[in-house]
Amino acid sequence: MIRKAELGRPVHTEVIAEPTPVGLICLAIGCAALVPIAFGHGLTPAGLRTAAMFCLLFGAGGQFVAGIGNLVNRNLYGGTLFTAFAFNWVLNWWVLDGMSRGVMPYPGTVFAVDVCFLVIFLVFTYGFGFYSKLLLAFLADIDLLYLARIGKHLGGGAWLDLVVATCTVALAGISLWIAFALLINPTAGRRIFAFPGPAFAARPRPGFDSSLRIAICRALYAHWQQRAFAPMPLGELELAVAAAAAGRGLEPDLSYLGELGAVLRTEAGVRLTAQGLDFFEQVVLGKSAFA
């Protein structure tokens, strides 16, 4: 028996409101708190503790909320990135709080984790390129930041501090731009904040050709409009759908539609059932409710 499709509901329905702007805005605030330190200012106990608190509340807290929200909405990419990044901001809080009390983290461990994060973000950069060039730039900025941090671990010059600071500022700016695009563009109904399309094209998945099945239903529907439930001779149906069939037989699709309950086959020919009429009008003609 044919069941009514829920045309008013999308295939994927978000459980909660889009959490990504929250994470991006909090990320920008966390980066802003690190900017003075990145440029060599605020390296006092009070300055370090102040930045540490922003890292904990906005950096870690905001990323965690966005990550869990994306996972609830079945957004695997966003949920994974935000959630993993949230724990990194907890580490930032711990490092800065410890530095304010004169306790420095062990550099070997920090170096190993930075290398691991770089590998993770490089893969994410490639993946996000299939969504947007702006997201690709967002991840590329993070990649460059971690490359500079690793370079410092390996004895690079003081110029790498400027690279880290510049990447931190850029990360805050790109985060705000993406957040504003997600918030303002739908509200305004136009692209106030540019959000370019994908940088890479994914390989298209094999599609399903429903043209013959729809052509059969369309021909039977036209016959019903003229002759009501009088069967349409099979030969007449074959002529009506010859262009869509392109040499293919009708038996597989007629058998499927028969099992579905959409058509009834008799010795005199083929006709749509009442359920088949509703199915065709709803799915093909876009009728939102059954008559």
Segment 17-73, tens digit of pLDDT:
899 999 999 999 999 999 999 999 989 999 999 999 999 999 999 999 999 999 999
What's residue 287's pLDDT?
66
Question: Is 288's pLDDT higher than 80?
Answer: no
Instruction: Give the Cα separation of 185 and 206 in Å (integer).
Output: 33
The answer, yes or no, to whether residue 245 has pLDDT greater than 60, is yes
Within 4-75, residue ranges assigned H as helices are 20-38, 45-54, 63-72
User: Looking at the predicted structure, is the pLDDT value of residue 8 above 50?
Assistant: no
Averaged over 136-145, what is the pLDDT? Answer: 96
The CATH number that domain 211-283 falls under is: 1.10.10.10
- The full set of domain ranges for the chain reads 20-188, 211-283
pLDDT 10s digits, 143-184: 999 999 999 999 888 899 999 999 999 999 999 999 999 999
| First-residue to last-residue Cα distance in the chain | 17
pLDDT band at 114 (very low <50, low <70, confident <90, very high): very high
Which residue, 147, 14, 22, is CA-closest to 72? 14
User: Above 60 in pLDDT, residue 9?
Assistant: no
Residue 4 confidence (pLDDT) above 90: no
* Structure confidence at residue 23 (pLDDT): 95
Do residues 71 and 34 touch, judged by C-beta distance below 8 A?
no
pLDDT band at 7; cut points 50, 70, 90: very low
Residue count (the chain): 291
Q: What is the SS3 assignment for 269?
A: strand
pLDDT (mean) for 199-216: 81
